[in-house]
Amino acid sequence: MSFGTSEYRTRIQKTKERMASEGIEVLLITDPANMNYLSGYDGWSFYVHQMLVIIIDEDQPIWIGRGQDANGAKVTTWLYHENIIPYPDDYVQSDTKHPMDFVADILKQIGQDKRSIGVEMENYYFTAKCYEHLKKGLPNAKLKDATLLVNWVRVIKSDEEIEYMKRAARIAEKAMETGIKSIEAGVRECDVAAKIFYTQVSGTEKFGGDYPAIVPLLPSGEKTSTPHLTWTDERYKAGDTVILELAGCYKRYHSPLARTVNIGTPTDKVKALSDVVIEGLNACLDAVKPGVLCEEIEEVWRKTIEKSGIIKDSRLGYSMGLNYPPDWGEHTASIRKGDKTILEPNMTFHLIPGIWLDDYGFEASESFRVTENGCEVFAKFPRQLFIKDGLLTN
Q: In which domain, by residue range, is 71 found?
A: 5-154
Task: Report d(CA 203, CA 215) in Å as an integer.
Answer: 15
Residue 297 lies in a domain: yes
Same domain for 217 and 138, yes or no, is no
pTM for the predicted model, two decimal places: 0.96
Report the chain's C-alpha Rg in angstroms: 23
Q: What's the CATH code of the domain at 312?
A: 3.90.230.10
The pLDDT tens digits along the chain (394 residues) read 789 999 999 999 999 999 999 999 999 999 999 999 999 999 999 999 999 999 999 999 999 999 999 999 999 999 999 999 999 999 999 999 999 999 999 999 999 999 999 999 999 999 999 999 999 999 999 999 999 999 999 999 999 999 999 999 999 999 999 999 999 999 999 999 999 999 999 999 999 999 999 999 999 999 999 999 999 999 999 999 999 999 999 999 999 999 999 999 999 999 999 999 999 999 999 999 999 999 999 999 999 999 999 999 999 999 999 999 999 999 999 999 999 999 999 999 999 999 999 999 999 999 999 999 999 999 999 999 999 986 554 4
Residue 96 lies in a domain: yes
Same domain for 217 and 322, yes or no, is yes
Cα dihedral: 64, 122, 120, 334 (round 10): 120
Classified as helix, coil or strand, 121 is coil
Residue 254 lies in a domain: yes
Domains of the chain: total? 2
Same domain for 106 and 202, yes or no, is no
Same domain for 24 and 130, yes or no, is yes
Residue 357 lies in a domain: yes
Closest CA to 165 of 265, 295, 282, 254: 254
| Helix H or strand E encompassing 51 | strand 51-55
Same domain for 175 and 143, yes or no, is no
Q: Using CB atoms within 10 A of its CB, is residue 135 exposed (0-12), middle (13-18) or buried (19+)?
A: middle
